[in-house]
Amino acid sequence: MTHPTPFERSNQNQTTDWASCIAFYETLARTFPQVLRFFPIGTSDNGLPLHAGVVSADGVFDREAIHAAGRPVFFNNNGIHPGEPEGIDACMALVRDFCTQPQRLAALGQTVFLFIPVYNVDGCLNRQATSRVNQLGPEEFGFRANGRNLDLNRDFIKCDSLAAQAFNRFFTAWDPDVMVDTHTSNGADYQYTMTLINTQTDKLGGGLGDFLRDTMLPTIYADMTQRGWPTCPYVNPVKTTPDDGIEDFLEVPRFSTGYAALHHTIGFMPETHMLKPFADRYASMRALVESVLAFTVEHGSAIQALRRAARAPLAVCSLRPVLWRPDYSRPASFRFKGFAPIYGESQLGNYYRLAYDRNQPWERDIAWFNRCVTDVEVAAPRSYYIPQAWREVIERLQWNGVELEHLTVDRLLQGEAYTIDRVASRPGPYEGHLFHDEVQLGTHATTVQARAGDVLVHLDQPRARYAVETLEPRAHDSFFRWGFFNAILEKKEHFSDYVFEDTALEMLHDEPELAAAFSRWKTENPALLSDQQAVLSFLYANGQRHAEPEWRRYPVVRVM
């Protein structure tokens, strides 16, 4: 074989290092310039180049020419978690085979194979043998986090990493129809080597979601069995073990496939099982990528038509879901191959511990909760108004191809504003942010003075879904939840108690609504009446005289 990969030259339990991987693709691209184009698309936080590659059967690599011809784009992302590296090695062998096997290349037809060889470059270079606690092989591998200790598979919306910023732009520019982002799982033990997370079909929505659930997934599961790698849905047990059923993993937009769904791209996260030999994980990963690719080649134009339909302009006031939850009322059934769970006394503490007995395999139908229902819907506004001060938000919309109207003159806008009535945040940092798990809103009509340079996001555009699910505060991974607007949650001035004691009396006299609210508060909180700060803070927060209008007012306004 010409151009063997480091994995192929190894004892089948070794993964490539980053430098060898990049050098391998550079050599292929020099040797087979009609098949492969390989190029940097950005840098990592540690300053190393982030690469991507394109394979096409007819030597056309230009993105605009490919889009103009309406050609399907299949995208394979690897190494987001470099401790889960089989996809990195499998992609190298697949691209090499495109280069050296003309029939395989020709079988791509019009479809373009786009790939990122190693997405988390910093993590891949942080090579060691210990960080994957539960995993069998390979002998050495990279680390999960990047140079800023960020998990890149939580970073697609907030984009703290330079890699995610480059990815947002790259993904938007190429607009792939189907994406496969390769992983290794943690969790239960069972017989399968390959398990599959798909973009949750109800969340993907519409004809595209139905097509994925009813046509694409059954075909891929059947094809994987044919290829010798029977595959099950990602094992996300409803209770402790798969015996009681499994439920779809709701991959919200911080994850690769959830992000892809905001662009109406069908996404998969194959997760090989960590306790299977690396060589098997490698082989099943290669089979999975080839299976999804083959489906894309065969059904590319159908997928493209469904994506176009999903991008039809949003009608004003049409209801858009922004929050989903599992639906436990209508399980599907999956014929599952498991191992018997056994419980024994722990030798560490006074409790029973779970183990799986591989000498007791079982096969039976289990409940598969693969549907979700909408938890929160919002009426789509005509446009969102964003003051230019919130430039990190505007920047991210631009990276994602959202068309913006920059106002050229000051003008008054009428719309609907949110107040943040309540937030409950995580007690500690989550991926470097203060994440707000619970968000309650009030709504009121408003008139705002918009200035030249401020931005309007009209929703009659193809990228509307990204805008709605990042700008609506209650959406799973809104910019608000990630803390981009935290400054509005703080009052900026404060009172001196000895002065405000007298001011508050005047306010109670002048503001009957405040007086009524204060009476209610006193009845409900008798114990707090002996706490001066509690009393004055209530009056300060609820009185109008020294109100700060910016406090708890979400600055993005819905223009109806």
The nearest distance, CB 161 to Zn ion, in angstroms, is 16
Per-position b or e across 288-315, b if 16+ CB within 10 A of its CB: bbbbbbbbbbebbeebeebbeebbeebe
Min. distance of Cβ 131 from Zn ion in angstroms?
12
Map the footprint of Zn ion across residues 65-84, applying CB under 5 A: 81, 84
- Please, which residue, 96 or 183, has the CB nearer to Zn ion? 183
> What's the rounded Cα separation, in Å, for the pair 368 and 335?
9
| Maximum alpha-carbon separation in the chain | 90
Secondary element (H or E) of residue 516: helix 512-524
Give the separation between CA 454 and CA 136, rounded to whole angstroms. Answer: 53
Question: Which residues in 175-194 contact Zn ion (CB under 5 A)?
Answer: 183
**Residues 229, 283: contact at Cβ < 8 Å?**
yes
DSSP letters, 428-457, are S-BTTB--EEEEEEEEEEEEEEE-TT-EEE
Kindly state the smallest distance separating residue 80's Cβ from Zn ion, in Å. Answer: 7
How many Cα neighbours within 13 Å face the side chain of 175? 21
Which residue is it, tokens 């010409």? 2
Q: Which two tokens stand for residue 548?
A: 């700060």
Residue whose structure tokens are 């606690």 = 133
Query: Which residue matches tokens 């002048």?
Result: 510
Q: Tell me the closest approach of the beta carbon of residue 81 to Zn ion, in angstroms.
A: 4
Of the pair 183, 558, the CB lying nearest Zn ion is at 183
154 lies in the binding site for Zn ion (CB under 5 A):
no
Smallest distance from Zn ion to CB 136, Å? 16
Q: Which residues contact 351 (CB under 8 A, 6 or more apart)?
A: 345
Residue 176 beta carbon to Zn ion: minimum distance, rounded to whole angstroms: 20
CA distances from 516 to 242, 419, 509, 539, 549 (A): 55, 22, 11, 11, 21
Q: Any idea what DSSP says for residue 145?
A: S
Least distance CB 52 / Zn ion (angstroms): 20
Ranges of beta strands (E only) in 122-206 are 178-181, 183-184, 194-198
Rounded Cα–Cα distance for residues 394 and 456 (Å): 10
Q: Which is nearer to Zn ion, 50 or 145 (CB)?
A: 145
CB of 476 to Zn ion, least distance (A): 19
Three-state DSSP string of 365-426? EEEEECCEEEEEEEECCCEEEECCCCHHHHHHHHHCCCCCEECCCCEEEEEEEEEEEEEEEC
Q: Would you say 163 or 420 has its CB closer to Zn ion?
A: 163
Q: Please state the closest distance from residue 129 (CB atom) to Zn ion, in A.
A: 18
Cβ proximity of 336 and 364 under 8 Å: yes
Contacting Zn ion within 336-375 (CB under 5 A): none
Minimal distance, residue 271 CB to Zn ion, in Å: 7
The residue (of 271 and 290) whose beta carbon lies closer to Zn ion is 271
Between 84 and 89, name the residue whose CB sits nearer to Zn ion.
Answer: 84
Which residue, 84 or 472, is less far from Zn ion as judged by CB? Answer: 84
Instruction: Compose the 26-65 pattern: x for residues touching Zn ion by CB under 5 A, - for all others.
Output: ----------------------------------------
Taking Cα atoms as reference points, which of 224, 7, 2, 227 lies closest to residue 101?
2
Output the smallest distance, CB 153 to Zn ion, in A.
Answer: 6
Nearer to Zn ion, 142 or 462 (CB): 142
Nearer to Zn ion, 183 or 481 (CB): 183
Least separation, in Å, of the C-beta of 75 and Zn ion? 17
CB of residue 145 vs Zn ion: minimum separation in angstroms?
12
DSSP 314: P
For 508, other C-beta atoms within 10 Å of its C-beta total 17
Q: With respect to Zn ion, which residue has the nearer C-beta, 184 or 296?
A: 184
Q: How many residues bind Zn ion (CB under 5 A)?
A: 3
Measure the CA–CA gap between 483 and 489, rounded to whole angstroms: 10
263: helix, coil or strand?
coil
Nearer to Zn ion, 234 or 385 (CB): 234
Cβ distance to Zn ion smaller for residue 182 or 370: 182
Amino acid in the structure at residue 526:
P
Site map for Zn ion, 81-110, x if CB under 5 A?
x--x--------------------------
Q: Which is nearer to Zn ion, 187 or 401 (CB)?
A: 187
The answer to whether 253 and 247 are in contact (CB under 8 A) is no
* Binding positions for Zn ion, rule: CB under 5 A: 81, 84, 183
